[in-house]
A and B are shown apart, each in its own frame.
Chain A
């Protein structure tokens, strides 16, 4: 009985410390020193929240940079059910999906599609694509917008990020940020 009482008291006190006080301290720190990040890294344009810099969106218009394939529940880029395709590398369904994407992108032997553009991401919400995948789309975007290819490439280069110290992280661009830049907003 004494043991049970001790167990209950230890449980209750540690629950309050780690389940209430601890998250509130992190909350206080975040709201004070990192309020943009702690509140979801949202981007506001003309008073309207148009997305989070960290959450990918399913761009489909020819004039925008497209993100990666998304296998989230119900529909692509649905943050209410994040996740990957979970298709095994040996699954014929994966091969079929990739072939369909390669064809839809009009890739050929001379201009092959970068691998990240024809595979689905782990979260289904990947906000980024590789720089190679962005370059691959320059022609289509320039044509749809009636601007020069150099112009589009310039914007991509300005938004390109490279690995820290050369080996931590990967070469990439944020799709939403490039698209806002293409629209001349940011």
Chain B
């Protein structure tokens, strides 16, 4: 395990250093101090025509219009891909329910995938419909966060910035440069970037496959292997940088073409947490008190480290069901050992376990090992990380605006305890804000628990489960948790490409995204109209150890109280049976 601790420690140190630098840059971009791309921006803003300050209602309308246009575009694109170029396998239209699910999923930064990309979507669909939404959904998250921060900063103003400028700046100044750098790195490490047809290779040892159906053995011999190509690296880069997680291939980041070695694995993990981490530091600078940012980053990091160690440990210890077999499952200098089902040799148990924690701490949802085959407690960690409302780093933008909601809730609870009017960053938290906070905090668990409950009592829901007993429940719970929190990873055994799951999860994803964004913008609008109170000796500090402790407590209690009963019936029961 010592190796795991060293790996994790180095990872956190590197992440923190880069995040501080990037956070400083992001603050400069949104404070208008950096403008090296103004030669693109100026003519673009002229074309857009509407670049004045906006009230929250206008801002929210802009976000919704922009996202709905995206959904319509991606939806139609999948239906007409058969008639478009860059489609070497001549793939036709997807089903309507799948097209709708995929469109909502990618536009909302969720990237839940109930299809097999290499057998379903053309290069053009992936590049021009899906990868574009990887950028735009992340830009939407950043824009909403920046609007919320402006709400805290503004003094009796009523406006929270311009939505078009925020979307353009997020894309051009933040997402695009980072994706280019990562994209170059990934190509160099082995991720393909071409537009060739699927390639046939001649096997030096023809593959003999025997299958037994109803007692009859049939043998097939394969002399060739057909390998998909495509513009993988460009999509892989933004998939990580934008915490999207939608794979170019079905196996996602477990596929050697998406994640060829341990170095690419490290870069991908860093890229996932990079923007969510750095936004904390940008936030501190923008509100004029860096300690506020440090505190939130520290809270995220502490919770993350504990849970990451949990999943690495569970996978390292391996599967007790194999103990009586003639198997060598211990880690040594010649093998990774541990629970290797669903994992790749080049990542081993630590590279896979850490990735599982990273991708679910952030609302990324890329996977480099099959989460369905994790140990029961190893699988509980990703599930729990998502259930903490994706605020442990969280998605690009969405992680920090979620965390700020928890900070407001913590201030409110602490205020009740000491009998003082709650305020955060100099803004009084009053009944309107608290109603919106309650809405944000309640909508997601409601979607998760109701969706799961309905699916495990009706036939089309039950039909999707692939594993028996307690784990079947975990599969469904994981699906709705992932959808409502806009993560997108899965216990992939669940057969979700059915009209029932496509529509049900599509609805869950949509409400889980926009049912949070709209109240957040309402809070931003309300805060922006308020006075900013001066810090006095009576002000409760929202930085430092005490507040961090309260914040962690509130996050864990809200997460735990809501979901513990469901977790007890799923992964915990499974663990007790397996280790009996």
Contact = CB atoms under 8 A, between A and B. Distances in A.
Interface of A: 2-11, 13-15, 17-20, 22-23, 25-27, 29-31, 33-34, 37-42, 45, 48-52, 54-61, 64, 68, 73, 75-92, 94-95, 98-99, 102, 107-109, 111-116, 118-133, 135, 163-164, 166-172, 179-180, 183
B408 interface: no
B228 A80 contact: yes
Most A CB contacts (10 A, CB to CB) among B235, B326, B333, B376 go to B326
B459 interface: no
B321 interface: yes
A38 B50 contact: no
Contact of A60 (B65, B191, B207, B468): B207
Contact of A40 (B175, B184, B199, B373): B199
B180 interface: yes
Most B CB contacts (10 A, CB to CB) among A25, A30, A78 go to A30
A121 B471 contact: no
B342 A126 contact: no
B412 interface: no
Q: Which secondary structure dominates where chain A touches chain B?
A: mixed
Contacts of A116: 335-336, 340, 345
Contacts of A119: 340-343
Contact of B254 (A99, A109, A121, A130): A121
Given A14-B171, A84-B492, A122-B344, A26 B256 contact: no
Q: Which 6 A-B pairs have the closest CB atoms?
A: A169-B262, A122-B254, A86-B493, A130-B335, A84-B370, A123-B251
B348 interface: yes
B50 A27 contact: no
Most A CB contacts (10 A, CB to CB) among B118, B342, B347 go to B342
B179 A22 contact: yes
B491 interface: yes
Contact of B372 (A31, A88, A131): A88
Interface in B330-382: 332-348, 351-352, 367-370, 372-376
Contact of A11 (B3, B73, B220, B372): B73
A113 B327 contact: yes
A112 B335 CA distance: 13
A4 to B, nearest CB: 6
A79 B195 contact: no
Contact of A61 (B49, B58, B205): B205
B209 interface: yes
Contact of A29 (B119, B132, B187): B187
A86 B492 contact: yes
Contact of B201 (A42, A91, A167): A42
A168 B262 contact: yes
A6 B368 CA distance: 39
A68 B348 CA distance: 13
A1 to B, nearest CB: 11
A60 B208 contact: yes
A87 B192 contact: no
A169 B351 contact: yes
B539 interface: no
B316 to A, nearest CB: 12
B225 interface: yes
B47 A135 contact: no
B321 A6 contact: no
26 contacts: A2-B50, A3-B65, A7-B69, A11-B136, A14-B135, A14-B171, A17-B171, A17-B172, A18-B135, A18-B238, A22-B176, A26-B193, A38-B194, A40-B194, A51-B204, A61-B205, A84-B341, A84-B373, A89-B373, A111-B326, A115-B338, A129-B345, A131-B334, A167-B3, A172-B345, A172-B346
B342 A122 contact: yes
A94 B234 contact: no
B345 A164 contact: no
Contacts of B302: none
Given A3-B62, A98-B327, A125 B255 contact: yes
B209 to A, nearest CB: 5
A73 B65 CA distance: 39
Most A CB contacts (10 A, CB to CB) among B127, B175, B250 go to B250
Interface string B201-243: 1111101110000000000101001111101011101100000
A120 B201 CA distance: 23
Interface in B59-77: 61-62, 65-66, 69-70, 73
